């Protein structure tokens, strides 16, 4: 595809200009007409065949996509806008092209333009979304697919928008609850580094001049400080290598599964992570069932949208059980993830045929528990932080101030 520069007048008569990718000038004119722009001049950008020609040595920022992300807020706004536009009867291609011109995120703008190009070539909306997993999750694509098949595309955008809003609220609560503990832990780490690199060497110089016999606690601190100052580059290298190795490991299927399982077993926060994930499962699975997706397919979709591969494997086990002819309640019980109260609610939903509604109530139940736990998280972690700070003060007292007290006592005795 080539890039064309155009000038035209909108429905208000104002002169507008810009660039548009298309196969030919006629397609540009058609796209402008959909946006209620009357073309005045359409010119192909010279030296362009789908992308502007780059000068030698010049870096095209659009090619630097590694760190580009579409935030949850941007995806929620996009879903809301698509709901309003599709409900108003605006053609999908026109809506997509218009939103692409209004967004500020380069990745989202490029994605929407590519989706529109695919639609013009005969692709379905869900099929085009599926080509961009970095922006649209499997759950998102599946909901849009159902909306296309049932003729309720606007409702699908509305449902997915509400789901993402609840997801945003959960993430916001988690960040709010963990901000204080992380800040304190970071301050402790920085303080220990400063003490070892600058404070202890200063005291060591004083002790060596006085020729005092130092206690073993002080000798240990001085040894650690000397090691950090002498081999700091090795410590930094080991930390960077360990971090790199860990990140590489958790990107593998086996490593990610073990790490996700380990997170659920952490003291204090492990049960919180479990409830957050199960609440996310209940909410998303209720959503796909309400949209009319078969239960086996719904479990497969949701298992990849939970953010935890270990629980996702449990959900896949539930899917396998249902395919063998077992009931949903039985497979949920076999997964050993849900509390007896939740299993009872699921059983009632299966018996009454309203399992999607009961799962929605289960999601509300988990979200209320998570909200309550998050409010008490700081109180639960605070004693641990106090002990850590007390240990740091104790180390300083024994290793730094103890020899000073002994020296001052010796001076007064002398």
pLDDT at 175: 80
Whether residue 59 lies inside any domain: the answer is: no
**Spatial contact of 168 and 76, defined as CB atoms under 8 Å apart:** yes
Rounded-to-5 percentages of helix, strand, coil across the chain:
75, 5, 20
Q: Where are the alpha helices (DSSP H) in 264-354?
A: 270-290, 295-303, 309-323, 328-335, 340-352
Per-residue pLDDT at 93 exceeds 70? yes
State what percent of residues in the chain have pLDDT above 90: 13
Please compute the mean of the pLDDT values over residues 16-45 and round it to a whole number: 71
Domain of residue 77: give its range: 72-164
Q: How many domains does the chain have?
A: 3
CATH of the domain at 271: 1.20.81.30
**Claim to verify: residue 6 and residue 85 sit in the same structural domain:** no
The one-character DSSP state at 53 is: P
Please compute the mean of the pLDDT values over residues 311-329 and round it to a whole number: 89
Whether residue 404 lies inside any domain: the answer is: yes
pTM of the model: 0.68
pLDDT at 49: 43
**Claim to verify: residue 273 and residue 305 sit in the same structural domain:** yes
CATH of the domain at 30: 3.10.20
Confidence of residue 55 (pLDDT cuts 50, 70, 90): very low
**Claim to verify: residue 367 and residue 414 sit in the same structural domain:** yes
pLDDT at 233: 92
**Claim to verify: residue 375 and residue 309 sit in the same structural domain:** yes
Of the residues 115, 145, 164, which one is the last residue of a structural domain? 164
Buried b (16+ CB within 10 A) or exposed e, 287-322: bbbbbebebeebbbbbbebbebbbbbebbbebbebb
pLDDT at 78: 93
Higher per-residue pLDDT: 278 or 55: 278
Per-residue pLDDT at 13 exceeds 80? no
Please compute the mean of the pLDDT values over residues 292-308 and round it to a whole number: 82
Per-residue pLDDT at 53 exceeds 80? no
Per-residue pLDDT at 265 exceeds 50? yes
Lowest pLDDT segment from 61-75, 115-129, 370-384, 388-402: 61-75
Please compute the mean of the pLDDT values over residues 155-165 and round it to a whole number: 88
**Spatial contact of 146 and 155, defined as CB atoms under 8 Å apart:** no
pLDDT at 238: 95
**Claim to verify: residue 17 and residue 98 sit in the same structural domain:** no
Per-residue pLDDT at 368 exceeds 90? no
Confidence of residue 112 (pLDDT cuts 50, 70, 90): very high
Per-residue pLDDT at 57 exceeds 70? no
**Claim to verify: residue 284 and residue 256 sit in the same structural domain:** yes
Whether residue 62 lies inside any domain: the answer is: no
- Cβ contacts of residue 220 below 8 Å, gap of 6+? 399
pLDDT at 209: 75
Whether residue 64 lies inside any domain: the answer is: no
pLDDT at 63: 42
Give tens-digit pLDDT for 185-243: 888 888 888 888 888 888 777 777 766 677 777 888 888 888 988 998 999 999 999 99
pLDDT at 54: 44
**Claim to verify: residue 157 and residue 174 sit in the same structural domain:** no
Per-residue pLDDT at 148 exceeds 70? yes
Of the residues 164, 189, 215, which one is the last residue of a structural domain? 164
Confidence of residue 60 (pLDDT cuts 50, 70, 90): very low
Please compute the mean of the pLDDT values over residues 37-59 and round it to a whole number: 56
pLDDT at 374: 78
Please compute the mean of the pLDDT values over residues 118-138 and round it to a whole number: 86
Whether residue 58 lies inside any domain: the answer is: no
Q: What is the mean pLDDT of the chain?
A: 81
């Amino acid at each position: 595809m080539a890039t064309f520069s155009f000038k035209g007048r909108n429905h208000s008569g104002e002169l507008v200009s810009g660039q548009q990718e298309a196969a030919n000038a006629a397609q540009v004119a058609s796209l402008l007409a959909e946006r209620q722009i009357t073309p005045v001049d359409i010119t192909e950008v010279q030296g362009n065949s789908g992308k502007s020609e780059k000068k030698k040595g010049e870096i095209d920022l659009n090619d630097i996509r590694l760190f580009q992300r579409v935030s949850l807020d941007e995806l929620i706004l996009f879903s809301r806008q698509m709901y309003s536009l599709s409900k108003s009867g605006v053609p999908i291609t026109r809506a997509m092209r218009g939103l692409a011109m209004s967004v500020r995120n380069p990745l989202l703008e490029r994605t929407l333009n590519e989706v529109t190009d695919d639609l013009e070539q005969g692709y379905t909306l869900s099929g085009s979304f599926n080509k961009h997993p970095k922006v649209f999750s499997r759950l998102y694509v599946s909901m849009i697919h159902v909306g296309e098949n049932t003729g309720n595309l606007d409702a699908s955008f509305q449902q997915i928008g509400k789901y993402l809003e609840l997801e945003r609220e959960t993430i916001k609560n988690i960040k709010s609850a963990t901000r204080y503990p992380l800040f304190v832990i970071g301050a402790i780490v920085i303080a220990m580094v400063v003490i070892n690199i600058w404070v202890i060497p200063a005291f060591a110089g004083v002790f060596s001049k006085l020729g005092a016999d130092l206690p073993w606690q002080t000798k240990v601190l001085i040894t650690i400080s000397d090691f950090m100052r002498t081999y700091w580059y090795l410590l930094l290298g080991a930390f960077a290598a360990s971090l790199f190795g860990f990140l590489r490991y958790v990107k593998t299927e086996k490593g990610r599964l073990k790490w996700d399982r380990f997170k659920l077993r952490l003291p204090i926060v492990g049960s919180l992570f479990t409830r957050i994930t199960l609440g996310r499962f209940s909410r998303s699975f209720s959503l796909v069932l309400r949209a009319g997706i078969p239960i086996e397919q719904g479990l497969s979709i949701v298992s990849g949208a939970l953010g935890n591969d270990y629980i996702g494997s449990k959900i896949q086990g539930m899917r396998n059980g249902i395919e063998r002819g077992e009931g949903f309640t039985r497979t949920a019980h076999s997964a050993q993830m849900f509390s007896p109260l939740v299993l009872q609610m699921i059983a009632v939903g299966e018996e009454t045929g309203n399992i999607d509604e009961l799962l929605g109530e289960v999601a509300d139940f988990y979200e209320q528990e998570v909200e309550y736990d998050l409010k008490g998280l700081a109180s639960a972690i605070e004693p641990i932080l106090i002990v850590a700070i007390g240990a740091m003060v104790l180390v300083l007292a024994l290793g730094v101030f103890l020899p000073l007290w002994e020296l001052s006592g010796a001076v007064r005795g002398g």
